Structure 1
């Protein structure tokens, strides 16, 4: 523990030295430089203090998330500055070594002075993540996007051609801090006028009480003609904090399950139901959480018991790694799986038709949007709320509207 802390302190010290050098190369006014040093020291002291106050029994709170946001806003730009100036140092040492040993000019100092334009480039590059992270915390986390996706199935029952489903996921109500923005999002959900609404898990960060101030808000989601259904996500099991007793943990878990009913959603626990329209029907299946790196209590075989391969099936499974490992090649042929969980890392670059990138793609193969394998689809919702980092950069909170269409997909 001490060694890790020592290494962290050394890394932070190096980062601060390089960041200060970049500023000093460009700014010569001593009062500004002194002010920068004082502010940097105070911010670092606040971050360290805030993290020392973290209570694992409580878990993530708005304060700890604000601290995480501040940490990223301060040190990600400084890390970029450090990389730029370190690159210049490699050049300076290399050039000085060649000059020294070749004896081209003995009157020149071994290590050349820092070049102002390099520091200016570094500061310019550092401004990009700084401004992006500030936007993410102040605006991005509530910049809701309604994403509409039509999916074609040749064996879709005729009566369901054009059937619409609104999907929300990863609410993380313990992170909310703006009732007006959440009410605005609920209005967006209601405006879609879909046939059915599905909620694919993570109603809280850890504790059932996090949702209590928001129950009336989410009860405003209007009744949908073909129902409101939900499943559990990994955070709904209370796995990420220590509990005084197993009984306390179980009580919290039961209270979280009750929350879904309190906002008028039918919670599905490894089970299925039929959605009937006219003379046709489709099967809606809901499994508990199953993830390669998280709790595995979802039982797809139990949930789909007595269903046949020919039944048209929509599966709700919180973690898209479940689709990777068990669902996409399952002999019962699950036509469409709806997931969430990844949040798209709440950070990335997404320009439709041009680029879609996030660090989360190096962990999850399917992390945002629609994916297909042999006529079987998974849609990964980018999440309604936020967690850990109190913002979103490039990957915005999502309300999905999926339209089922009969026919072959044209791509």
Structure 2
């Protein structure tokens, strides 16, 4: 209860401070009342969803996600506005103190706020506010196909030009638009890749979240099949289950569902993709993540039947596994495919010029292709979304990678 009281007080102070910018910028009372009404509505909905709503325990339901999203948008508007006002107030305070102690004035008084600066503050604050709303309305389904050509000296000849499609972090429990998901699934099939890899987090928490979408993902096709691994959300660790048996049954249901949809689920095991006498080793590990994330992945077990001279592709959900374990392993893993970060669903990306997101402060390898010690990783930005129900600047991704034999025209 105390934390909610503190939160409400802080929110009220921020709202009051931001209101001063509006009062300086405009003299129309309806603008103030609208701002107050929207602020109260967003706060009230957030408190309701996270305290009184009947949603299951720690499960982040769609209403909760949207309540969180609107709150983030409002806070971004207020904090940026306050940043400008606080800077101006510091200058006003110093100016008033100088006038009082220099003898220019017998009484201490603050200069008036400048309308121009308030207008600038409100204009700049409106940019992330609008972007966050757009991200919830359209950005979350703004699917992008990103294509890469990767060259390897020891790629088997028969696999020169071999095309891979990777998707990751579906988070089906967050979907709310069937037509958009139909479009994305069709977009995947249009790539006509040789194989499809899914690198974890099919659901947010429960297998049942995927049931309404299973028919769509069952329609994904590739000549050499579909392969998948588990992500941290697939284990049901973020739900308050009544019993451990219920949690275990949920995981088994998800495993069965993936297989029923045509995915070959790799649980610390390997397969071979064959072209004539040439082959690629495909290794899939369960989730292994740095910090508090589950470490069920067993690379040694997964690669137990793989020859050290094989060309190897590894499916591992969390890129921290690649950084901490894979690139230092005695076996040479030519290409690792990961996801997990979502690119934080927020950032700035202009291909060839800039790629930035706050998630880079947590993950060194957070989006796109990286190379270390002659080994590559692709970190997929994610197909779905979680928490904030949108995307800004870091769009949902379908990766298409073509393997090329180095030196072959």
Specify if TM > 0.5: yes
Q: CA RMSD in A?
A: 1.5
> Do the aligned partners of 2:58 and 2:238 also contact (CA within 8 Å) in 1?
no
- Is 2:100 aligned against 1:86? no
Question: Which residue in the other structure is 1:19 paired with?
Answer: 18
When normalised by structure 2's length, the TM-score is: 0.96
| SS at 2:328 equivalent | coil
- CA distance 1:34–1:58, shift in 2 (3 Å): closer
Question: Which residue in the other structure is 2:132 paired with?
Answer: 133
Offset, 1:56: 5.0
- CA distance 1:76–1:142, shift in 2 (3 Å): same
Question: Which residue in the other structure is 2:242 paired with?
Answer: 244
Question: Which residue in the other structure is 1:65 paired with?
Answer: 65
Question: Which residue in the other structure is 2:218 paired with?
Answer: 219
Question: Which residue in the other structure is 2:202 paired with?
Answer: 203
Offset, 1:7: 3.2
- Is 2:143 aligned against 1:159? no
| In structure 1, distance between residues paired with 2:15 and 2:125 | 14
- Give runs of aligned pairs for residues 177-326 of structure 1, distance below 5 A: 177-222=176-221, 224-293=222-291, 294-326=293-325
| SS at 1:72 equivalent | helix
| In structure 2, distance between residues paired with 1:408 and 1:357 | 33
Instruction: Show CA shifts across 1:75-103 (max 9, x none).
Output: 21111111111111111112222222222
Question: Which residue in the other structure is 1:351 paired with?
Answer: 350
5+ residue gaps, structure 2: none
| In structure 2, distance between residues paired with 1:136 and 1:196 | 31
| In structure 2, distance between residues paired with 1:226 and 1:256 | 23
> Do the aligned partners of 2:270 and 2:305 also contact (CA within 8 Å) in 1?
no
Question: Which residue in the other structure is 2:96 paired with?
Answer: 96
Instruction: Show CA shifts across 1:154-209 (max 9, x none).
Output: 11111111100000000000000000000000110000000000000111000111
- CA distance 1:138–1:31, shift in 2 (3 Å): closer
| SS at 1:328 equivalent | helix
| In structure 2, distance between residues paired with 1:217 and 1:332 | 37
Offset, 1:123: 0.3
- CA distance 1:63–1:389, shift in 2 (3 Å): same
- Give runs of aligned pairs for residues 2-41 of structure 1, distance below 5 A: 2=2, 4-41=3-40
Question: Which residue in the other structure is 1:175 paired with?
Answer: 174
Offset, 1:31: 3.3
> Do the aligned partners of 2:164 and 2:402 also contact (CA within 8 Å) in 1?
yes
Deviates more, 1:28-37 or 1:314-323: 28-37
| SS at 1:37 equivalent | helix
Offset, 1:10: 3.0
| In structure 1, distance between residues paired with 2:208 and 2:358 | 32
> Do the aligned partners of 2:229 and 2:315 also contact (CA within 8 Å) in 1?
yes
- Give runs of aligned pairs for residues 99-138 of structure 1, distance below 5 A: 99-103=99-103, 105-106=104-105, 110-138=109-137
Deviates more, 1:106-115 or 1:322-331: 106-115
Offset, 1:109: 5.2
Task: Flag as ranges the 4+ runs of structure 1 deviating above 4 A.
Answer: none
- CA distance 1:85–1:215, shift in 2 (3 Å): same
- CA distance 1:111–1:408, shift in 2 (3 Å): farther
Offset, 1:153: 0.7
Equivalent pairs, count: 406
Offset, 1:36: 2.8
> Do the aligned partners of 2:335 and 2:376 also contact (CA within 8 Å) in 1?
yes
> Do the aligned partners of 2:151 and 2:404 also contact (CA within 8 Å) in 1?
yes
Offset, 1:308: 3.0
> Do the aligned partners of 2:314 and 2:337 also contact (CA within 8 Å) in 1?
yes
| SS at 1:366 equivalent | coil
| In structure 2, distance between residues paired with 1:363 and 1:271 | 29
